Structure 1
Amino acid sequence: MEAYIDGRLSGRALHRFLEALNEPLFQQILSDYLQSQLQEFRTDEVDNGFAEEHYQKFISLVRSGLITGEQESVIPMYKRPTGLRFWKIAAIVIGMLIGGLLWYQLVNKSPHTITPTVVTIPSVSDTIRQPYVAFADGSILILDSLAGQNDHLRQIGGTVDLKNRRLSLSGNIRRTGDGNLIHTLVTPRGTQYSVALADGSVIWLNAYSRLQFPSHFSEERRGVGLSGEGYFDVAESDKPFLVVVEKLTIAVVGTRFNVRAYNGERSVHTTLLRGKLKVEGDRQQHLLLPGQALLIEGARWRVLNGVDTSQVVAWRQQLFDFRKANLRSIMPELARWYEISYEIPPRFNRTFSGKISRSYDIATVLQILREGGIRCRQEGKKVVFYD
């Protein structure tokens, strides 16, 4: 269950897990697990009202289920359950609610203390193919042509720009008595999206990424949580802007930077384009200057100087930019954009250099790799490499 929520299941393991969700016994086990996980957060470490509110919302979800109409842009959480789709989305919701409770602790700490905080962000759902927002109450809004009519969106002062693929938050929030709730913007495979926050900051999300943001920022600080890859253009303000990534806290005032922190990758890569940036971990911290990148692999922190930032943010120009890249670093990036799996022989050490448009289909991309001397064949949704 933890592996599914964290996005670590794939291939046969993911297929077996989703098939098991059809079994009544497994559904009961899942229900008990989800309830026990939220029960752990009903402690004095979190405001009792906040925790109780989210706990009751989740219990209502499990007991009541949800509707799954394929034509609906909003998937509400309070209607009769209809089987597999309910349980797949319920597994995502538990990650969202737990993440909200954890992140609530971060944004309500003393403004004079920045403490690295582990934030759990719900995994990306492969059942939804378009960017969507998972609201704090568990409702999911698909960001399509009908999104602007959604009441949840209006409550957080949000509008959707379909042409520029952007969610904009005006700061004109309809107060509902629920406090400062935490919402999540999600980009499935092969999609990108951006969000303009009420303070003027803009964040672009690459494929297979998640961004948690509050209904409104506190008086002391601004903050978001990230899993995946995002490019940040942070508006200047007296209030610090915090980005929480796994066990790291990135603190900025006004700057442009890129963060890459995907589940399953062993490293976190932070690149600064403009301004100054402080990255804090459990026992280390570092101040980055423009043109520098910080590569963190476990306990090892390494600063890279003279970084070509245009390559780092090429994804914003709808490009893959590979420079003597090993195939083992290329394929995870392609798999996040195309719905494919791959098989690489143990001693296969080929590299590739070149720019490839993300508008190409996977067959065209593989042909480009072949022209670069990499031998491969496509077997349905699987790519096999060979000597």
Structure 2
Amino acid sequence: MMDDPQKLLDKYNAGLCTEEEKAAVESWYLKLSSTDVEGLDIASAARTKAMVWSSLIANEPVLKIRRQWYLASAAAVFVIGFAGYFYLSPATTAQQLAVHQPKNNKIVPGSNKAFLTLADGRKISLTDANSGEIVKQEGLSINKTADGKIVYTVVDQGKNGGLEKIAFNTIETPKGGQYQINLPDGTKVWLNAASSLRYPTKFAANIRKVELTGEGYFEVAKVHIPFVVKTAGQEVEVLGTHFNINSYKDEDDIKTTLLEGSVRVIPFGTHKNNSSKLLKPGEQSQLNESDIKVKAVDTESIVAWKNGDFVFKGDDFRTIMNKVARWYDVEVIYKGDFDNLKFGGYISRSKDISAVLNIMESTGKVRFTVAGKKITVFK
């Protein structure tokens, strides 16, 4: 590997890097907002440059970044950006960056895992099911694709003359699981870890309604029948659109984020402010027990989980650890006050948990120990 990081970055920009050099650069580059760059002093940048380059030489593949982000940035932002988002304090040493995790206690990331509960009570492990047709229901064939999706196919449009009783199926993911399902109307739903979706095997003529717990990303088929997603405390009405709903019970707010089209968020129940909100692309509604508010957000970071990444942009530390706990199926124990701690950065969800924890330890703000499925956090 080259001795000068500037030359390596120039070589990367020119497309002349070897695979090893390219992996090293892409492993450590972080996208950073200009405010963070401007707030970094020269001395801190110099210290960070030395530490980043030491890591490059060690070639630790812990961060993932989309290449086009790098190509749009100056080489200086690479060095300064690392310090701004994951700032390495002068006291941080290479030894401090190693998460205290026994070698024989490797915690691997989540994968495609889910259970399908049919209307008649039968429960099928989609993780263990072979590809192909899993089961037939009234007028429907339920198939598992080779890449791990569940697809409903209508095989008899006029079964029972439309007089059959509406039946409901439920697909649920455990901690450490995710799954994609194509509903009978063609709507695609991605379920994050520890989530469930209850839906009819055949939608009614005047409404398409499903019930979500946890987190799901929806690409609703464009049919002239309203599509409604019900969660605890709200309903979301759409026709054809792309949106994400985060409704975990251990989160303070129910968050609905719109990427394409339009949706209406309608609070109900005990919420004091029950006025509905119409979202535009790039907006997110945040509903809690007392209020619902709408703000513009970075949608890329919201749906990064669906694309196989963790993306944090000044996120609250406990919120980040909730995501880590669900994806790696671990319990997090806090030793200290972490209320005002925030992190930013990118990392693939395919990495072992030690890679994720190492990144946060590199800031010098937290320290982790791992014992079985328990992660203890120290200041």
Q: Aligned residue for 1:151?
A: 135
1:342/1:220 CA distance change after superposition, 3 Å: same
Question: What is the CA distance between 1:274 and its match in structure 2?
Answer: 0.9
- Aligned residues of 1:270 and 1:295 also touching (Cα < 8 A): yes
Q: Within 2, Cα distance between the matches of 1:147 and 1:137? A: 22
What does residue 168 of structure 2 align with? Answer: 182
Deviations 1:247-295 (A, max 9, x none): 2111101111110001222210001111111111223211111111101
* TM score, norm. by length of structure 2: 0.64
The answer to whether the 8 A contact 2:304-2:311 is kept is yes
SS at match of 2:154: coil
Q: Distance in 1 between matches of 2:355 and 2:137?
A: 38
User: Which secondary structure does the structure 2 equivalent of 1:184 belong to?
Assistant: strand
Q: Secondary structure at the match of 1:331?
A: helix
Counterpart residue number, 1:340: 330
Q: 2:27 matched to which residue of 1?
A: none
User: Which amino acid counterpart does residue 264 of structure 1 have in structure 2?
Assistant: D
Corresponding residue to 2:347 among 342, 347, 356:
356
| Corresponding residue number in structure 2 for 1:267 | 253
Aligned to 2:265: 279
Query: Which residue pairs with 1:130 in the alignment?
Result: 113
Give the direction of change, closer, same or farther, for the CA distance of 1:183–1:145 in structure 2 (3 Å limit): closer
SS in 2 for 1:343: strand
Question: Equivalents in 1 of 2:209, 2:342: separation in Å?
Answer: 38
Distance 1:198 1:343, change over 3 A: same
Q: Do the aligned partners of residues 185 and 288 (structure 1) sit closer, same or farther apart at CA in structure 2, a change above 3 Å counting?
A: same
CA distance in 2, matches of 1:192, 1:350: 28
Give the counterpart of 1:380 among 348, 372, 379: 372
| Residues 178, 132 of structure 1: alpha-carbon distance in 2 compared, 3 angstrom cutoff | farther
Letter in 2 for 1:382: K
The runs of 5 or more residues in structure 1 that have no matched partner are: 1-128
Secondary structure of the residue aligned to 2:354 is helix
CA contact (8 A) 1:141 1:147 kept: no
Count of aligned positions:
258
Q: Distance in 2 between matches of 1:313 and 1:295?
A: 16
* 1:45-68 Cα distance to aligned partner (Å, 9 max, x none): xxxxxxxxxxxxxxxxxxxxxxxx
Match of 1:160 in 2: 144
1:195 CA displacement: 1.1
Correspondence for 1:242: 228
Structure 2: distance between partners of 1:162 and 1:266: 37
TM-score with structure 1 setting the length: 0.63
Q: Which amino acid letter does the alignment assign opposite residue 243 of structure 1? A: V
1:204 correspondence with 2:187:
no
Secondary structure, in 3 states, of the residue corresponding to 1:211?
A: strand
Would you identify which runs of 4 or more consecutive aligned residues in structure 1 move more than 4 Å?
152-155, 173-178
Structure 2 letter corresponding to 1:368? I
Match of residue 325 from structure 1: 315
The answer (yes or no) to whether the contact 1:173–1:215 under 8 Å persists in 2 is: no
- 1:222 paired residue number: 208
Decide whether aligned partners of structure 1 residues 173 and 367 sit closer, same or farther in structure 2, where only a CA change above 3 A counts: farther
Q: Which residue of 2 aligns with 1:213?
A: 199
The structural deviation recorded for 1:379 is 2.0
Q: Output the CA distance in 2 between the equivalents of 1:253 and 1:150.
A: 30
Whether 2:155 is the aligned partner of 1:172: answer: yes
Does the 8 Å contact 2:173/2:191 carry over to 1? yes
Task: Answer whether contact 2:166 2:202 (CA < 8 A) is retained.
Answer: yes
1:377 Cα offset (Å): 1.4
- Decide which of 292, 295, 306 is 1:304's aligned counterpart: 295
Q: For residue 152 of structure 1, report the CA deviation from its aligned partner.
A: 4.6
- Residue identity (%): 34
Match of 1:292 in 2: 283
Rounded Cα–Cα distance in structure 1 between residues aligned with 2:275 and 2:146: 41
Residues 105-144 of structure 1: matches in 2 within 5 Å? 130-143=113-126, 144=128
- SS of the residue 2:320 aligns to: helix
For 1:295-333, what per-residue CA distance to the aligned partner results, in whole angstroms no more than 9, with x for missing partners?
11112111112x111111101111111122222111111
Question: CA offsets, 1:215-250, max 9 Å, x none?
Answer: 101111111110011111111121111111112111
CA, structure 1 residues 131+240, in 2 after alignment: closer, same or farther (shift >3 Å)? same
1:314 is aligned, of 304, 310, 319, to 304
Instruction: Please list every run of 5 or more consecutive structure 2 residues that lacks an aligned counterpart in the other structure.
Output: 1-111, 269-273
1:365 correspondence with 2:351: no
Amino acid in the other structure paired with 1:354: G
Aligned letter for 1:162?
Answer: A
Q: Residues of 1 paired with 2:304 and 2:121: CA distance?
A: 34
1:251 aligns with 2:237: yes
8 Å contact from structure 1 (residues 356, 365) kept in 2: yes
Shift of 1:351: 2.3
Q: Report the CA distance between 1:193 and its aligned residue.
A: 1.1
- The letter for the 1-side match of 2:166 is N
